[in-house]
Amino acid sequence: MKIGIIGAGNIAKAHYRALSTINDCEVIGVYDISIDNARKLLENSNGIAFENPEDLLEKVDGIIIATPNFCHKDDTINAILKNKHILCEKPMATSTEEALHMMISAQKTDKVMAIGFNYRYLSYVSQLKELIQKQELGDILAVKLYFKKNSALKRKTFTWRDNSLSNQTSGALGDLGIHLIDLLWFLFESEFMEGTVRSKINTYVKEKEGMKVDVDDYSEIYGQLSNKVFVNIITSKSSLTEDCGFSIEVIGTKKEYLYSSVHPNVYTITEGVKKEEIQLPLPLLVDPENEVFEWSDSFRSQTIDWINAVRHGTNKTIATFEDGLRSHSTLDLFFSKSS
């Protein structure tokens, strides 16, 4: 499969690195608004740095869209018009309206349209899904999902992530929380009951380089899914270093599941006073600093799934444009419930 990448930032680098480990695909080239960035990404490869996206689209079977959120809609529509398979990074767009437009356009083609919810491919998430499906934990009572970073404190430069250009999709809730929203659907296929949702959404780092920051850097969400599971989500980009991390806790009537990045290569099953630690396999790729365990491998697994879907038909793991739209609708719900 001939693949191109639009965008040459950090996420594009993760996709490119993953692609370099997959035998049955070829990276034709990269387009970025800065051709120097595209060339740098393609160092030591045979790929071409394209000066415009249309020329790249003419040469490939599928395209990975790894541009800023506010570019996703236009980049996706252009690729749809060229009849290409698409893997678009999350969040799908900057609004539910844009996401709906993209989904409707995608429905007019027979190509595979996927959203980059790569956290579905973490082994400790897939193993948790299996435990839930087999009712090993019993009836699920509650889920706690925490994702805390310190990027709002570390990044001093004002960028597109800080202004209103990306609406509600580049802050702690839209950027990190969108993964957690998708994970809840992936694990339970159950949506939030609107009347149960309560939100706390704040901006603690209020300016950078003298300019007002328009997006949130901390959120707490409380609510209940239609399957009666209680949910607590916390996302942050303004946490102290010692508080940063990623965790999933699932409380069932029989057992409890816990994964925490404090101990990155194990998850724990607790039954009363009995506690069992399950060791996770070592990943193929080394993860960048401050990313979750298996982050790099998750891009690889996601890409393989996308390629297989192109060749053999879709499956239940790959995230669709419908999933992307659903996640945007849930984001709207969370923001609407914030005081």
Summarize pLDDT for 45-74 with one digit per residue, the tens: 999 999 999 999 999 999 999 999 999 999
Whole-prediction pTM value? 0.96
The four Cα atoms 220, 173, 336, 332 give a dihedral, to 10 degrees, of -140
**pLDDT higher than threshold 80 for residue 316:** no
With a CB cutoff of 8 Å and minimum separation 6, the contacts of 134 are: none
| 199 membership: H or E segment, kind and range | strand 198-202
Q: Could you tell me the domains of the chain?
A: 2-118 (3.40.50.720), 121-290+319-336 (3.30.360.10)
pLDDT tens figures, 270-315: 999 999 999 999 999 999 988 999 999 999 999 999 999 999 887 7
**pLDDT higher than threshold 90 for residue 21:** yes
| 78 membership: H or E segment, kind and range | helix 72-81
